[in-house]
């Protein structure tokens, strides 16, 4: 429980390929959450097809909101505010969720809150199901590692809603690297879970893939690693040898995790934090979670798997803190397809 004013938030998320809505109390207690995934629809393209995503959000948004309110046994009148992801994300997708939120907020006379999707991933660390004992709340200053399909960055948070970017990827995001390497290895979309699964049967020491440590910075780079995997695949193919998919997946995954883990630990030490948050789709990766959960130096907050990949509960959590701290928006706000946290 926070010491901020109580509030119930309805949140909507449509930044990429999930149409989602959630009802959350006091920034933490999740009453209802619905995620309609379009994953199967995009799998045949090997990635998210923006036009298809936007169209599908239009079809799903009303049923998803209705289902969420029905599961909560509530109406829009029971909410204190309506939140929606404003960015970053696909323009045609964002516009569907933000406009739905505007319509609901205007119709019911509720405040509107535009939420940064990345902020949502970080605030997923506050979530718990309403009927569960709340996990410990992150205590500031907090170091947040955000690893998703579009972003990989380390942010220092001295207090709620403040972000000091310590470093970010110079090229591919961690999730993007998983997705691209999956494609190289002939594994299905989305790449993260399929690489993880293939890696379970593989030897992480089979291939010595490079680690871009970028010493003296907290930046990341994964494109060299991806290229190293590509070169190895090409070399084996030219020699007419089979691709050892499991060994390659395991060796690639180990290289990504090692860099993410070590650099986060180093940043946490340097900045004297006690608490680390790991959020974003890649935080669903079991070996990455295990690396953080098995160390004893810091208190690590990693949300349960269902809150790692895109959902609206996390948008409601970030939306709650924005609302409680007085950051509501006017109806004139527009989507922000590019919206850095800091």
Report the interface residues with ligand KG4, using CB under 6 A: 16, 121, 148-150, 175-176, 178-179, 190-193, 196, 280-282, 284-285, 309-310
Among 148, 169, 196, 251, binds Zn ion (CB under 5 A): 148
Binding status of residue 310 toward Zn ion by CB under 5 A:
yes
The 3-state DSSP class for residue 302 equals coil
Q: Which residue in this structure is represented by tokens 């803190």?
A: 321
149: DSSP letter? S
Smaller CB distance to ligand KG4: residue 110 or 307? Answer: 307
Cα atoms found within 13 Å of the Cα of residue 224, Cβ hemisphere only: 12
Minimum Å gap between C-beta 337 and ligand KG4 is 13
Binding status of residue 153 toward Zn ion by CB under 5 A:
no
> Which residues contact residue 2 at a Cβ distance below 8 angstroms, ignoring those fewer than 6 apart?
26, 27, 28, 137, 324
Instruction: Please choose which of Zn ion, ligand KG4, none residue 191 contacts, taking the beta carbon within 5 to 8 angstroms, the exact cut-off set by kind.
Output: ligand KG4
Minimum Å gap between C-beta 89 and ligand KG4 is 8
Minimum Å gap between C-beta 272 and ligand KG4 is 28
Instruction: Please choose which of ligand KG4, Zn ion, none residue 196 contacts, taking the beta carbon within 5 to 8 angstroms, the exact cut-off set by kind.
Output: ligand KG4
Instruction: Please choose which of Zn ion, ligand KG4, none residue 204 contacts, taking the beta carbon within 5 to 8 angstroms, the exact cut-off set by kind.
Output: none
Buried b (16+ CB within 10 A) or exposed e, 20-49: bbbbbbbbbbbbbbbbbbbeeebeeeebbb
- The contact pattern for Zn ion, residues 271-290, with x = CB under 5 A and - = no contact, is --------------------
20: enclosing H helix or E strand: strand 18-25
Smaller CB distance to ligand KG4: residue 168 or 284? Answer: 284
Smaller CB distance to Zn ion: residue 247 or 310? Answer: 310
User: How far, CA to CA in Å, does 269 sit from each of 139, 143, 273?
Assistant: 16, 10, 7
Instruction: Please choose which of Zn ion, ligand KG4, none residue 282 contacts, taking the beta carbon within 5 to 8 angstroms, the exact cut-off set by kind.
Output: ligand KG4
Minimum Å gap between C-beta 54 and ligand KG4 is 16
Alpha-carbon distance 197 to 185, whole Å? 13
Minimum Å gap between C-beta 140 and ligand KG4 is 23
Alpha-carbon distance 20 to 261, whole Å? 30
Q: Which residue in this structure is represented by tokens 């994953």?
A: 39
Residues that bind Zn ion (CB under 5 A): 148, 310
């Amino acid at each position: 429980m926070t010491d901020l004013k109580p509030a119930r938030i309805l949140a909507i998320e449509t930044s990429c390929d999930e149409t989602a809505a959630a009802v959350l109390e006091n920034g933490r207690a999740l009453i209802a959450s619905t995620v309609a995934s379009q994953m199967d629809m995009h799998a045949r393209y090997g990635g998210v097809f923006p036009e298809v995503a936007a169209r599908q959000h239009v079809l799903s948004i009303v049923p998803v909101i209705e289902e969420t309110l029905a599961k909560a046994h509530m109406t829009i009148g029971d909410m204190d505010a309506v939140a929606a992801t404003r960015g970053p994300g696909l323009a045609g997708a964002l516009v569907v969720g933000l406009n739905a939120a505007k319509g609901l907020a205007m119709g019911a006379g509720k405040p509107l809150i535009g939420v940064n999707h990345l902020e949502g991933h970080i605030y997923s660390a506050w979530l718990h199901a309403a009927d569960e004992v709340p996990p410990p709340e992150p205590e500031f200053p907090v170091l947040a590692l955000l690893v998703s399909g579009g972003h990989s960055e380390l942010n220092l948070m001295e207090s709620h809603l403040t972000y000091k970017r310590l470093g970010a990827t110079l090229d591919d995001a961690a999730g993007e690297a998983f997705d691209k390497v999956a494609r190289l290895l002939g594994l299905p979309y989305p790449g993260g879970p399929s690489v993880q699964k293939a890696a379970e049967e593989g030897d992480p020491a089979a291939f010595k893939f490079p680690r871009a440590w970028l010493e003296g910075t907290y930046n990341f780079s994964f494109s060299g690693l991806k290229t190293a995997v590509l070169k190895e695949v090409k070399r084996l193919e030219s020699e007419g040898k089979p691709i050892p998919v499991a060994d390659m997946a395991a060796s690639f995954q180990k290289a990504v995790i090692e860099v993410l883990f070590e650099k986060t630990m180093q940043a946490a030490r340097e900045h004297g934090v006690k608490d680390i948050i790991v959020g974003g789709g890649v935080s669903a990766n079991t070996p990455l979670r295990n690396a953080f959960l098995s160390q004893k130096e810091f208190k690590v907050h990693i949300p349960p798997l269902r809150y790692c990949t895109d959902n609206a509960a996390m948008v409601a959590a970030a939306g709650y803190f924005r609302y409680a701290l007085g950051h509501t928006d006017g109806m004139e706000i527009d989507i922000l397809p590019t919206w850095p946290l800091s």
